[in-house]
Amino acid sequence: MTQGLIDIHIIATNDIHGALFPSENDAGIMKAATYVKMVRRASEHLLLIDNGNALSGSVSTYFFSHSKNNFRNPMITLMNKMNYDASGISPNEFRYGLSYFNKAQAMADFPFLSANILHSRTKEPYFNSPYIIKTFNGMKIGIIGITSRGLMAKETVETVGEFAVEETVRAAKRWIRHMHDKESPDFVIALYHGGLNELVRNTDYKELTSNEAEAIIQASEGIDVMITGHQKKTLNKMIDDTLFIQAGSNMSHLCHIQLQFKGRTNTFELVNSQSELIDMTAYQEDEQLKDEVYFEEKEFRQWLKSKAGVVNDDFRLEHYEDFLAPHPFKTLLHDLLKNCTAEITCCHIPHMKAQGLSGMVTQHDLYNSYISIDHPVQLLLTGKQIHRIMERSAAALYEENGIHIRQEMLDPTVITDWRGFDYSLDLDQPIGRRVKMTLEPAAEYIIGTTDYIYRQYSDLIADGQLLKVHNRHMIELLEERLKSTLYLA
């Protein structure tokens, strides 16, 4: 360190998506570990933070949550070994249920931070303090976590009754003021698991409650760096006096910020700073970190190749738009939902990369047939509500040598398909008048669908209309069906 100067390195990751092992994507946390070690050797002052969405999103995290839930969490093991200082909280942290996250949090040597995820009863922060203070030679850095309220609204059916999610900007403003008043930090980092509204301005993904980074800055004083997430984009730019930085997803990059401070009588002055996004594909996996989870990886690889069953028909999806035409895999999903005691069923494209099923099916094939961890639910909806859901879904469809989806209007996985009553779509009609159906608008109907559809259309559905959430998710139900005589060779 130069005399009178303090050099501090900040490395931030976001949206790791559970990428534990080599081959799950092009980079992964083990390559990030190589870079972190290199920086630690060069600097005595390193702050390592994550902005959430590390605990789900890969086939390996599915395996450990589904088959090894009572064992240590390998992602937390790796993050502990890398000496993470803190993590923000993404709604996807709860994808495998609140108990899964609570076990992971209990194992972590670092805190998970969120200012606006509250106890539903006490309205106090659910995960202890929303911020921490790290001190380097007397210089204090405050780190606060903020979780997008809009994203939480689409992910929290598993935590209904546990959480109250405060309006994002209000919580950020209050806690940042409190942190400044109580701690007097010299530098503040906000871990916001949400994005910038300007990056989605021209699409229907523009949701002010999901991408409020700019609004948080405008309402709050004293944020020097805002690390954003969720948007699967890389970003490194100054807006006014605040650095906005985001490392994409799946560990393709990480954020590296270098700061230099000069000590004054009672404060520290920032005299130099630079930020960059580091491409992780250029680095090798850290061998010592690989050894930490050697046996977990071995067991995971064996499970991937193990046989789940043999399918007697061709349920492959070559492309997600295959799902829009009559397709046997879609019929299979309706059958599973109907078995959850509902005469009317509503299914949807499972995932953009879902591949369906065919022939001899391994556990890896089974996961890839659906990918998303969706639970069947029962809803009590009126005919009018069903019609409104169908019209919103049909608004993004167009016909051109088959039916296609305008992705700029609607996420393809939100497109719905219905069974149990007669209806027709006329895509030549104006939006809002494309659906004709036989249900009575004022009558009530029990619907079998998934919690994903319930969340995505939650603005049209009241909380009291959710009758039941099934404990088992769709991949488990597919596995059970594979073992029946109906679909086995």
- pLDDT number for residue 150: 84
* Per-residue pLDDT at 281: 87
Q: How many CB atoms neighbour CB 198 within 10 A? A: 13
Run means of pLDDT, 10 residues per run, the chain, 489 residues = 79 92 72 95 95 92 83 92 96 89 94 95 90 95 94 75 90 96 96 82 52 88 92 87 89 93 86 94 91 93 92 90 93 92 92 92 95 94 98 96 90 96 96 97 97 92 91 92 64
pLDDT of residue 230: 84
Contact 46, 81 (CB under 8 A): no
Strand duo 163-165 + 444-450: pairing:
unpaired
Question: Which domains, from first to last, does the chain contain?
Answer: 5-300 (3.60.21.10), 307-482 (3.90.780.10)
pTM: 0.90
Give the model's pLDDT for residue 205: 42
Give the per-residue pLDDT at 371: 94
